[in-house]
Amino acid sequence: MRRNKDRVLVVAVICLVSLLSLRAGLSAQNAPPSQTTKHMVPDNPSEHTPPTQPIPYSHKKHLSFGLECKNCHTNPEPGKLMTFPATSKCMECHVTIAKDTPSIQKLAEYAKSKQPIPWVRVYTVLPGVAWNHRAHLQAGVKCETCHGQVSQMDSMSEVTSVTTMYSCLNCHELNHAKTACDTCHKH
Ligand code: HEC
Ligand code: HEC
Ligand code: HEC
Ligand code: HEC
Ligand code: HEC
């Protein structure tokens, strides 16, 4: 049965990924504790229904296999973006896993057409404001501090207020990072 074959594959994927994360976990234990307190960004007080995405991708489901953020989101030069994964990344598993479901057939069509999947953006900073991920990752700020408990999200929505000036400034003050206007507003 196809379903059974899928299940075997799912189990195989889980085993492989848990082995990898076990190794990562062991080396993480030797890492020194973080020196600075990074402030949790306040929740988004306004309505934040998840946008309808072209494919119903679930972070909760995929992270439960032990995949890590960096498997799909990288931070290439000059460090501003975290980028979205290439469709070929998804197809590493989905050439076989759940390949007969409507959403994976749609995924396969995107892969075949070589067009990137038009994901609807969730977090966006006002154009013109100086922003980059790298300065924050280098300062040891965790993804979850700004984007919430991603591993619990079936669909991604703007759960925090990180894109507001108040949240930027508040965390900068608490961490003694720069707060002069021209840190974020260049002329
Ligand atoms: C298997 C690949 C994969 C993994 C692993 C993954 N993501 Fe994603 N992520 C995506 C895809 C695809 C989207 C676009 C669809 C969506 O918004 O759900 C996305 C969207 C996002 C967004 C919304 C970006 C925006 O503004 O539109 C954030 C934030 C995010 N991911 C954070 C994370 C974090 C944090 C982790 C690790 C805890 C993670 N992701 C792990 C594939 C992945
Ligand atoms: C490491 C392997 C792996 C990668 C990489 C991966 N997936 Fe999955 N995905 C799975 C597994 C396992 C399931 C669960 C299948 C099941 O429940 O039968 C799944 C389920 C899904 C489903 C639900 C399918 C359905 O209708 O039942 C969607 C949609 C999906 N993935 C999209 C994506 C997208 C988009 C990407 C790339 C951003 C991606 N996946 C990357 C392993 C992976
Ligand atoms: C200090 C807060 C902060 C941290 C830490 C952070 N992000 Fe973001 N992220 C943002 C903001 C703000 C945006 C919107 C940026 C824009 O509009 O250009 C964003 C956008 C994104 C996007 C959309 C693509 C892009 O780069 O614009 C993804 C994907 C994402 N973040 C994933 C992650 C992942 C994965 C991590 C951890 C490795 C992470 N973020 C850490 C604040 C943060
Ligand atoms: C959770 C805490 C946190 C949040 C939220 C945050 N930042 Fe930061 N930011 C930091 C820290 C810590 C640094 C690094 C300070 C250092 O290295 O001296 C930093 C550095 C920066 C820098 C580099 C400054 C330099 O040294 O030139 C810029 C630009 C910046 N942030 C813009 C933003 C913007 C724009 C936002 C909101 C969209 C934001 N930050 C949200 C903590 C935060
Ligand atoms: C740490 C980054 C950061 C610092 C420092 C900062 N801002 Fe902002 N500012 C932002 C962000 C992000 C927005 C966009 C907010 C939004 O979209 O809700 C913004 C928006 C604004 C806006 C309205 C948006 C517009 O351009 O129409 C004004 C005016 C403004 N800032 C002035 C200032 C002044 C004056 C200072 C110095 C006292 C300052 N900002 C310091 C990040 C910052």
pLDDT at 27: 37
Tokens of 79: 């460090």
pLDDT at 185: 97
pLDDT at 7: 55
- Long-range contacts of 174-179, Cβ-Cβ distance < 8 Å, separation of 24 or more: 174/37, 174/39, 175/36, 175/37, 175/38, 175/39, 175/139, 177/139
Report the chain (187 residues): mean pLDDT per 10 consecutive residues: 51 46 38 52 94 98 97 98 97 97 98 96 97 97 97 97 97 96 92
pLDDT at 37: 53
Is 161 within 8 Å of 45 (Cβ atoms)?
yes
- CB within 6 Å of ligand 2 — which residues? 6, 10, 13, 55-57, 61-62, 65, 67, 72, 85, 89-90, 92-94, 97-98, 101, 103-104, 107
Ligand 3 atom 3, closest CA: 146
d(CA 83, CA 88): 14
